[in-house]
Amino acid sequence: MENVLKEITPKSVDYSQWYVDVITKADLVDYAPVKGFMVIKPYGYRIWEFIQDAMNVRFRATGHENAYFPLLIPENLLIREAEHVQGFSPEVAWVTEGGGERLPERLAIRPTSETIVGAMYSKWIHSYRDLPVLMNQWSNVVRWEKATRPFLRTTEFLWQEGHTVHRTQAEAEAETSQQLEIYRDVIEGELAIPVVVGQKSAGERFAGALNTLTLEALMGDGRALQIATSHFLGQNFAQAFNIQFLDDDGALKYGWTTSWGTSTRMIGGLIMVHGDDKGLRLPPKVAPIQVVVVPIARGNDATAVLSYARKILGSLQSAGLRVQLDSRDEYTPGYKYNDWEMRGVPLRIEVGPRDLKSQAVVLARRDTGEKQTVNRDGLDLTVLKVLESIQNTLFDQAKAYLQDHWQRIDNLAQAEEYGYRGFFDGDWCGAEACAQDLQSQTGMTIRCLPLDGQAVGGDCVVCSQPGSARIVFGRAY
């Protein structure tokens, strides 16, 4: 039992190594032969599938359809929107040869799809009757990163990206806000990760966008993670790609476009927000295995206890739960407990000879470690209620951590007292020079201008000039 626990480096000793230990030993990922690429193993990919399912339901309910656009983008398309290509140029990977021959034009491996989508939309949209166009795609992208960490920042990663075209500015801005709210609903409701809702400063917004809305989460080491963004693109891309429509007044007009996306970095956030020194702690809604049943018996009782455990397994499966029976004879109960705790299974059910005799089971919660003995009668409903409690408890714990590590400050010296860890809330004069000084002096960046309605209350935390905006800032992944 001790040896199993020692396999994971404690968070307090080395947080980075703890993260690597958890993602590898919990069987989420492995490192690919090419640096910066990862292999997402079935246990990790199942979490991604639950995220996809949750989002697809919400996307379809708001009229969006899934589509797919090509991986390779001709260079002439990528360079049409100047600010966009400038923002992504350092990260673009290029294909220059195909079939043993030099290509007449370089092809970018998509860093994002606004350009290829814009080129296609210009072919499909002709009249106001064609609008709105509401599409999403699930795909991979490549951004050539220098420093990588599985899920959080990899050269190739999986994501979804929505691309829409609207008749009016108001419709496009409403779309931008709506999609951010969908992300918030999934991230808080399914992943149990509390977020800060805000808009990016001009220096931090998406390349080519007029406005970027963002969701920022706080990780267990006090660093921020940008977990989802939604962009109001105005007419920049419509003009660059000639996305025009004939309106009902007979005038030819440019469309108003948006894009929005999130990625497998949500899984990295999930791990760092909820994980502990034993490994993962997964919210039941996205846990590949919600309940594990562990029979504890040897000798004459083994067959009867195993039969009892299988009946419990079948009953819970019939209730729609994701359940696994651990009947491995080669491992001790203690090893099994630690193994499933490391994998983050929300609830463990232990059954032994005494439980068989009393027609009861022992429930062990992964979130709190609490154990309770309950009657087998009505076990399905009991387990459902416990899983709901675990989901809520994980969110409440994460929210309490966020609130405890969110400091209102008046100057940067106060942030230094906290080791620059956590979210800091202060005022900003609005000058980009101060945003750059903030980063160069402290390693912190403006995460967002929060949309919680609280007003500016003082002077800029960097230059002490009168504040014009309230910002949340911190060190980020």
For 3-23, write each residue's pLDDT tens digit: 444 589 999 999 999 999 999
Find, among 417, 419, 403, the residue nearest to 472 by Cα.
403
Residue pair 233/209 in contact (Cβ under 8 Å)? The answer is yes
Q: How many CA atoms lie within 13 A of 467 on its CB side?
A: 19
Q: Which of these three, 274, 308, 337, is where a domain ends?
A: 274
Distances from the Cα of 452 to the Cα of 11, 76, 332, 455, angstroms: 32, 41, 51, 9
Q: For residue 1, what pLDDT is reported?
A: 42
Q: Tell me whether strands 469-474 and 445-450 are parallel, antiparallel or unpaired.
A: antiparallel
- Output helix, strand, coil percentages for the chain, rounded to the nearest 5: 40, 30, 35
| Number of domains composing the chain | 3
Neighbour order of strands in the sheet with 347-351: 323-325, 291-295, 347-351, 360-365, 371-375
Give pLDDT, residue 84. 65
Residue 6: the pLDDT is 55
CATH number, domain containing residue 331? 3.40.50.800
Q: Are both 269 and 296 inside the same structural domain? A: no
Q: CB neighbours of 208 closer than 8 A, spacing ≥ 6?
A: 81, 83, 84, 87, 114, 233, 236, 237
Q: For residue 405, which amino acid is it?
A: H
Q: State which residues form the domain around 190.
A: 2-274
Neighbours of 246 (CB within 10 A): 15
Computed from CA positions of residues 13, 16, 17, 20, in that sequence, does the dihedral angle turn out positive or negative?
positive
Cβ atoms of 349 and 313 closer than 8 Å: no
CA 319, 323, 324, 325 dihedral sign is: negative
The verdict on 36 and 79 lying in the same domain is yes
Please report which helix (H) or strand (E) contains residue 94, including its range.
strand 93-98
User: Among residues 274, 301, 326, which one ends one of the domains?
Assistant: 274
Tokens of 47: 């979490």
Asked whether residue 128 is domain-assigned, the answer is: yes
User: What is the C-alpha to C-alpha distance for residues 231 and 157, in angstroms, rounded to an integer?
Assistant: 20
Q: Is residue 102 part of a domain?
A: yes
Beta pairing class for 252-254 and 244-246: antiparallel
Pair 352, 442 in one domain: no
Q: What are phi and psi of 57, to 5 degrees?
A: -60, -45
Tokens of 140: 């991979």
Q: Is residue 153 part of a domain?
A: yes
Are 50 and 136 found together in one domain? yes
Which pLDDT tens digit goes with each residue over 389-443? 999 999 999 999 999 999 999 999 999 999 999 999 999 999 999 999 999 999 9
Here the CATH number for the domain that contains residue 413 is 3.30.110.30
SS3 state of residue 138? strand
> Domain for residue 400, yes or no?
no
Per DSSP, 407 falls in state E
In this structure, the answer to whether residues 49 and 174 fall within a common structural domain is yes
List the beta strands (DSSP E) in 167-207.
196-199
Residue 129 lies in a domain: yes
Largest Cα separation within the chain, whole Å, is 86
Instruction: Provide the pLDDT for residue 456.
Output: 85
- Please report how many Cα atoms fall inside a 13 Å half-sphere around the Cα of residue 102, on the Cβ side: 1
Q: Are residues 268 and 212 in the same domain?
A: yes
Quote the pLDDT of residue 297.
86
Q: Quick check: is 327 in a domain?
A: yes
Asked whether residue 261 falls in the same domain as residue 299, the answer is: no
User: Does residue 33 sit in the same domain as residue 151?
Assistant: yes
What DSSP string runs through 412-433? HHHHHHTTT-SEEEEEE---HH
Choose one of 250, 274, 298: the last residue of a domain: 274
Q: Which residues contact 383 (CB under 8 A, 6 or more apart)?
A: 291, 316, 319, 321, 347, 349, 363
Nearest residue to 242 (alpha-carbon basis) of 161, 134, 165, 176? 165
| Domain shared by 146 and 194, yes or no | yes
Residues 105 and 69 in one domain: yes
Q: Tell me whether residue 267 is in a domain.
A: yes
**Domain harbouring 89, CATH code:** 3.30.930.10
Amino acid identity, position 372: Q
- Which residues in the chain show pLDDT less than 70? 1-6, 82, 84-85
The answer to whether residue 60 is domain-embedded is: yes
Are 303 and 270 part of one and the same domain?
A: no
Please tell me the predicted confidence (pLDDT) of residue 159.
97
State whether 270 and 154 are in the same domain: yes
Using CA atoms, how far apart are residues 467 and 457, in angstroms rounded to an integer? 8
Of 129, 140, 115, 132, give the one whose Cα is nearest residue 174.
132
